[in-house]
Amino acid sequence: MRAYQASYDSLKILLPPGKFRWQTVGHWEQTWWERKWVVDTYGIDDRLQSAYEKANAKNPIAAKQLLDAYLALLALFSVDQRLQVFRAATELTKDEVATSVYNVSLLRAAAKNFSTGNADFVETLAAFGKKNPRDGRRFIEYANNILPKFGALARPAALKTLVNFYYSHFNDVAKQEEATNLFVPMLDEFEAAHQAKALGEYYQLYRERNYAREQEIAALEAQYQSEFNEAEAAVAAKKAQKASLRALGWKVVAGSFVIVAFLALFLVLLSIQRNIKMMREMAMASK
């Protein structure tokens, strides 16, 4: 209990009660049928207790683990940024203690990629993690890994591009990683001021080219499935020897389909590289 109290006192040093509201403030409202309490501002204490409940931190040891994770994160920021960071961290606390501590550690790891004079990136990552339970953690991990490859000044805009295009184009972090990894080797060909914009334009090109490829593959799959179903029905009515020969023939067709799909993807990548080259030449010409 003393150890927890020491951590709690440290939080009060980082978020001084004289500067920040620790107690919830509200007012009573009277309706036609009841009188109810309406919260105007949640205090730090209530936010902390809510986080403990969400993480199932039922004892001082578990609560201290989570609180210490918050302290390590808050200490990276100036006092004016800490309440924003604290709110974001508690919003991302939604699982058991160990998982919540790891989530907060991801926010802390992200800090080295940005200026801690502005905590907007913490809020952005925490909000994404909260809204996307399937991909949230993996997205933050990937952002922490990929953003150092961008120029320091380009990273806030690059993070915004990653988030926006996740929602508008991918809705699957694995697909976004696959697309972004193809762009990264070309990143050095753009000045830092143009890198985030180049990523966005690349995503547009990737989507257009990849959509055409997926449509072609879908058509090939549909044709193959239709022909396969017809052949399967015919095979069922014939002798075992003829059925074996037919099955072998369809394996050859399936192999041909894979080759066609691979060639389509290869042509898409070549097309994207040509467009990226044109984008680079246009950027150079505009200097």
pLDDT digits (tens, 9 = 90+) for 137-146: 999 999 999 9
Give the separation between CA 264 and CA 211, rounded to whole angstroms: 11
| Contact assessment for residue 142 and residue 135, using Cβ atoms and an 8 Å cutoff | no
Instruction: List, for residues 96-148, the tens digit of each pLDDT value.
Output: 999 999 999 999 999 999 999 999 999 999 999 999 999 999 999 999 999 99
- pTM higher than 0.85, yes or no? no
Residues 6 or more apart whose CB falls under 8 angstroms from that of 49 comprise none
Cα torsion 20, 40, 64, 107: sign:
negative
Cα torsion 184, 188, 193, 194: sign:
negative
25: phi then psi, degrees, rounded to nearest 5: -120, 140
Average of per-residue pLDDT across 31-60: 88
Instruction: List, for residues 157-189, the tens digit of each pLDDT value.
Output: 999 999 999 999 999 999 999 999 999 999 999
pLDDT band at 150 (very low <50, low <70, confident <90, very high): very high
148: phi then psi, degrees, rounded to nearest 5: -60, -15
Mean pLDDT of the chain: 84
pLDDT band at 257 (very low <50, low <70, confident <90, very high): very low
